[in-house]
Amino acid sequence: MRLNDCHNFHDFRKLAQQRLPGPIFNYIDGAADDEVTLRQNTQSFERCDLVPNVLRGVEAIDMSVTVMGQKLAMPVYCSPTALQRLFHHAGERAVAAAAAKYGTMFGVSSLGTVSLEELRKAHATPQVYQFYFHRDRGLNRAMMQRAKQAGVNVMMLTVDSITGGNRERDLRTGFSIPFRLTLAGMAQFAIKPMWGINYLTHEGFKLPQLDEHVDMSGGAMSIGRYFTEMLDPSMTWDDVAEMVKLWNGQFCLKGIMSVADAKRAVEIGCTGIILSNHGGRQLDGSRAAFDQLAEIVDAVGDRIDVIMDGGIQRGTHVLKALSLGAKAVGVGRFYLYPLAAAGQAGVERALGLMRTEIERDMKLMGCRSIDQLSRENLRFR
């Protein structure tokens, strides 16, 4: 299977599975507990039907949107995700370049493997910094100041990860950073030698956003341990309100799922919220973001930009979310599988296919621009 054989999300996933060692593929692919929420994230779109209009003169399509003050050429952006250079040696560099090619936003994680300064200098497209709230409040302030100095456009605080989810696939393989694998996990690396060759022949793996603050030289720092030991479960709305004031710019909360929390985000001055269950990787059994979208848009959509992520695999999924009132949608696995399969070329192909799908689907819906999408275009079963 080659990159040109990939025409949709499932094709990219298959190619990534062929090329990645099992523990790394399962880190991307897996979710918490029984992975019920992971499946529901996509299935939620299947319970909603599109109702198209015809004869609307759709020769020219404008799919641009403005979200949290950022003008995007398409209503899909690359959500910040951790450890990207484990999946492909180019990592965030490939994702940022592909996002820039398509004029959309990309995110850099606190657990990113390329520095936010390097990416900010390389690309003029909007950049998000995804931030975790650490026990060390001085560390929090220092990381925010660093992002401000780098010219980051949007600060994104993840609020659904005060402790790590129960990701049993990682427990079975022993996945951690640095690697401390089970025998079965090591065997998976042995049968995918090209990944190892690329890993060893490129620059060393690091976490530049945290290198000055986290000493991993003494042993393995599992992702679960990072969440459990370094992040602060005592974080409150007062702490976040202080961060919003300190940042004094575009600030969004990622992981909002209730109307009450959405209203609090408005009250403390956030400019955006992202409905998200962390791709099903935290609380299994939590509601799909798409199923919760209308309720939250109705409550706060006129006062704050409402975005969602989780389960997006098709252009029609994007249009359904926008029709309910989302200003844009984020994708994670959608670009991580292509990244793992083929680096920048893979991410560009995935974003290009998505852009083509959205344009075609808007024409078939009878919509020339995003603002012509509405709930009149939808029916729920």
Q: Active site residue: 88, 89, 134, 278, which one?
A: 278
Place of tokens 């791709």: 279
Furthest-apart CA atoms within the chain: distance in Å: 66
Counting every residue written for the chain, the total comes to 381
Beta strands in 134-271 (DSSP E): 154-158, 250-256
Instruction: Check whether the bond before 178 is cis (ω within 30° of 0).
Output: yes
3-class DSSP state for residue 60? coil
Strand partners, 360: none
- Amino acid identity for residue 366 in this structure: G
For residue 331, give both structure tokens.
């994708």
Cβ–Cβ < 8 Å for 347, 335:
yes
Q: Is 213 a catalytic residue?
A: no
Burial 280-291 (b: 16+ CB within 10 A, else e): bbbbbebbbbbb
Pairing mode of beta strands 106-109, 127-131: parallel
Concatenate the DSSP letters of all residues of 104-154 into one string.
Answer: --EEEETT-SS-HHHHHHH--S-EEEEE--BS-HHHHHHHHHHHHHHT-SE
Gap between the Cα atoms of 179 and 131, Å rounded: 24
Q: Which residues are catalytic?
A: 278
